[in-house]
Amino acid sequence: MINKLNLLLFFIFINSLSFSQEIKDFKIDSILSLLTLKEKVSMCHAQSQFSSPGVPRLGIPELWMSDGPHGIRAEINWSNWDYSGWTNDYITAFPALTCLAATFNPFLSNQYGTSIGEEARYRKKDILLGPGVNIYRTPLNGRNFEYMGEDPYLASIMVVPYIKGVQTNGVAACVKHFALNNQELWRNHINVQVSDRALNEIYLPAFKAAVKLGETWSIMGAYNQFRGQHCSHHELLLNKILKTDWNFDGVVISDWGGTHNTKEAALNGLDIEMGSPIDTKTPTRQAFDANFLGSSFLELVKSREIDERVLDDKVRRILCLMMRTTLDLGRPLGKINNVEHSHVARQVATEGIVLLKNRANFFPLNPDKKLTIALIGENAIKSMTTGGGSSELKANYEVSPLEGLKKRFKNASIIFSKGYTSENSDQDPKLLISDAIEKATQADVVLFVGGLNKNRGQDCEAEDRKELKLPYNQDYLIGELQKVNPNIGVVLVGGNAVSMPWILKVKAVLQTWYLGSEAGNAIADIISGDSNPSGKLPFSFPVKLNDNSAHFFGELSYPGDGETQIYKDDILVGYRWHDTKNIKPLFSFGHGLSYTTFEISEIKSNKKFYTASDSIILSYKLTNTGRREGAEVVQVYIGKSNSKIPRALKELKGFKKTHLAAGNQTTEIITINISDLSFYDESISNWNLELGDYMVYVGNSSGSISKMTSINIK
């Protein structure tokens, strides 16, 4: 008989030993042998809205989970979705992941992950439900703001340091949503059809990097179906690709309510089922053991219809996760709402802001000059940490754009007008517009702060946007403001591309994302010139919706017919589509201006001819030819000349962000493995390297290439 004290002493002894695979297996087998069948099954499903059971009689703690990828969500009640109303669950809100991706800065991604992991640990969370790496396929996806853009290479590079940072705190990252959750409309049932090549080249690489390089401890299954099976219990995705091909040793967690069948869940790779079942006859939630991996699973194991070894594999994985989290006696205690976290949030926000247009050096505005600035737009005052679905946050503080600009531009007279409203209210839209126009006529400069928000039907979980244009009649308002004051700059908030019929009429455009607690300060940093913008777009902005690849092929490609969706754009997603089909975007992937200028020169590869085991070592000189410090992201794209198979014109294969003082120059190196130029060959169900000539494109966006050179693979 073993009691809690003896078990605790046993864990202390074992934790003092080295963490070899043999020791880890011994620890897990020792615990597994003590568990009853019912206790093992109980560990495979939820016990509350955000926890799964431990084993109380053995002192094995529960696993506690939390949304979301850019901040720790407020406490939720035990058995419903209402907030608990705590007063000690305020947190630092970090920028959404589109902003993090726009930094093109893996070092910052690690700082971000470390900081959010510290906050999760302080809040006693064991699993952080993020980051998200689903590919940006359509600008209408309501959840794009939670992801890392349209390019699998960029997402792969940025997700790994995030995971490493989170998990240094003894908190598991849970990478989501595996896989092909590229829209919110009909997400619970839409059956996605996509080629094996597009699956492996576009939609899986970031997940693969998260597993193989990031060594993530958990993965969340997606809601949608893929080839007729729900992704949370999917033979190909979970058993074959994730657990066999990639040797994933972590835990697969369902999205909440994403499980549909006991046998499929048991046999097709799901380890922990989250969400509480709802009685179909009444709108009441049932006890958590009514989950598919609950009592019905127990009965199937008891009757030997399901082999107990299937259950034991799940429990081993859960115990392994616990060894890394709840049973790791040496993990740190965490930190929350400290100065360091605010600094990271502000740094990510500042580096992620993208200067899309800047005619006649409209930005920066001189903060010491006595200006009258008309600040127009609801987004200048609207909270963006709340709303958006499961990623909404209870921020310790949130600096609005109005607050940030007033704080920095103390010599200016800032007059605010809402201009439009996103709420159902008694405010007359015509009066709002007329007030905004009146304010604009009084000003030296107009700053329109608009874009999207986190209302349902905008950037929000569970529903997609209806159109590409700005909501709430903002396009009209911008046009009217420009008529009375042409000295206008537009500050866009949001996580998706929008159309800009007014682009030729305004002097400047900033894309500012959802920036979290430090939003207003970061925007003021850029507008004042205290910081030089260095963000780059992680996705393309199409001129019109049908210029986007998913929409070009009609409704069956997006959003589907209500049951099935076919990815007819295949591998040509984002800039791959625009470049290959010569459809000019409004703004290219990787685009982003600066207040200084850079020159990329002396671009050289280490040799002309390569073999499959070689690496391209590309060197270049980067010179800051302007008058102030700044940072540039040099991007390397590679395309196959005269390919025997359909290919994109070019694909991102390397990038580097470099900070340089005015007038300074540096020589940098980007290394690309030749094996990374392989394509997924469906005829052999594996990767294949095509020999021959390749073009190497070096520039600062997919649409701005400084030099092209050729190499040959023999």
Q: Where among 305, 324, 343 does a domain terminate?
A: 324
Q: How far apart are CA 668 and CA 249, in angstroms?
A: 37
Helix axes 474-484, 429-441, angle to 10 degrees: 30
Q: What CATH number corresponds to the domain at position 380?
A: 3.40.50.1700
* pLDDT tens by residue, 38-53: 999 999 999 999 999 9
Q: Tell me whether residue 3 is in a domain.
A: no
| Residue 339 falls inside a structural domain | no
Above 80 in pLDDT, residue 682? Answer: yes
Whether 426 maps to a domain, the answer reads yes
Single residue among 499, 518, 539 that ends a domain in this structure: 539
Q: Please measure the distance between the N-terminal and C-terminal CA atoms of the chain and give it in whole angstroms.
A: 67
User: Which of 436, 445, 535, 431 lies closest to 478, judged by CA?
Assistant: 436
Q: H/E element holding 607? A: none
Task: Give the Cβ contact number of residue 714 at 10 Å.
Answer: 9
Minimal CA–CA distance to 141: which of 191, 189, 184, 202?
A: 184
Regarding whether 370 and 271 lie in a shared domain, the answer is no
Q: Report yes or no on 360 lying in a domain.
A: yes
Q: Does the pLDDT at position 313 exceed 90?
A: yes
Report the range of poorest mean pLDDT among 280-294, 307-321, 332-346.
280-294
Domain membership of residue 549 (yes or no) is: no
508/648 same-domain check: no
Q: Are residues 305 and 422 in the same domain?
A: no
Helix (H, G, I), strand (E, B) or coil at 646: coil
Same domain, residue pair 148 and 188: yes
199 DSSP assignment: I
* Nearest residue to 490 (alpha-carbon basis) of 469, 458, 521, 512: 512
Token code pair at residue 503: 């682009």
Q: Quick one: 305 and 382 in the same domain?
A: no
How far is it, in rounded angstroms, from Cα 611 to Cα 28? Answer: 44
Instruction: Please indicate, yes or no, whether residues 395 and 477 belong to a single structural domain of this protein.
Output: yes
Q: What residues form DSSP beta bridges with 692?
A: 713
Q: Is the peptide bond before 559 cis (omega within 30 degrees of 0)?
A: yes
Mean pLDDT of 223-252: 98
Active-site hit among 151, 255, 525, 579 = 255
501 and 462 in a common domain: yes
Maximum CA extent, the chain: 84
Return the pLDDT at 1.
46
> Which whole-number Å values give the CA distances from 419 to 63, 196, 512, 562, in the listed order?
47, 48, 19, 37
Q: How many Cα neighbours within 13 Å face the side chain of 469?
A: 10
Over residues 371-384, the mean pLDDT reads 98
Residue at 179: amino acid letter: A
SS3 (DSSP) at 62? coil
H or E stretch at 580: helix 575-581
- Note down the domain range covering 615: 598-713
Phi/psi at 372 (nearest 5 deg)? Answer: -105, 115
Tell me the Cα Rg of the chain.
26
The Cα–Cα gap between 586 and 581 comes to 15
Regarding whether 232 and 168 lie in a shared domain, the answer is yes
Are residues 171 and 130 both part of a single domain?
yes
> Which DSSP letter does residue 325 get?
T
Structure confidence by residue, pLDDT tens digits, 137-182:
999 999 999 999 999 999 999 999 999 999 999 999 999 999 999 9
Domain boundary among 513, 539, 565: 539
Q: What pLDDT score does 358 carry?
A: 98
Q: Let me know whether 439 and 310 are in one domain.
A: no
The CATH number of residue 604's host domain is 2.60.40.10
Write down the number of H helices and E strands in the chain: 18, 26
Position 554 in a domain:
no
Predicted TM-score (pTM) of this structure:
0.95
pLDDT tens-digit map of 6-26: 665 555 555 554 456 777 888
Say how far apart CA 196 and CA 198 lie, in whole Å: 6
Q: Are 477 and 483 in contact (CB under 8 A)?
A: no
List the CATH number of the domain containing 289: 3.20.20.300
Is 29 labeled as catalytic in the residue annotation?
A: no
Rounded to an integer, what distance in angstroms lies between the CA atom of residue 459 and that of residue 386?
12
- 3-state class percentages of the chain: helix first, strand second, coil last, to nearest 5: 30, 20, 45
Domain count, the chain: 3
270 with 221: CB under 8 angstroms?
Answer: yes
The predicted-structure confidence for 520-574, as pLDDT tens digits, reads as follows 999 999 999 999 999 999 999 999 999 999 999 999 999 999 999 999 999 999 9
**Is the residue at 585 inside a domain?**
no
In a domain, 2, yes or no: no
Same domain, 293 and 363: no
Is pLDDT above 60 for 79?
A: yes
Instruction: Looking at the structure, tell me whether residues 273 and 150 fall in a common domain.
Output: yes
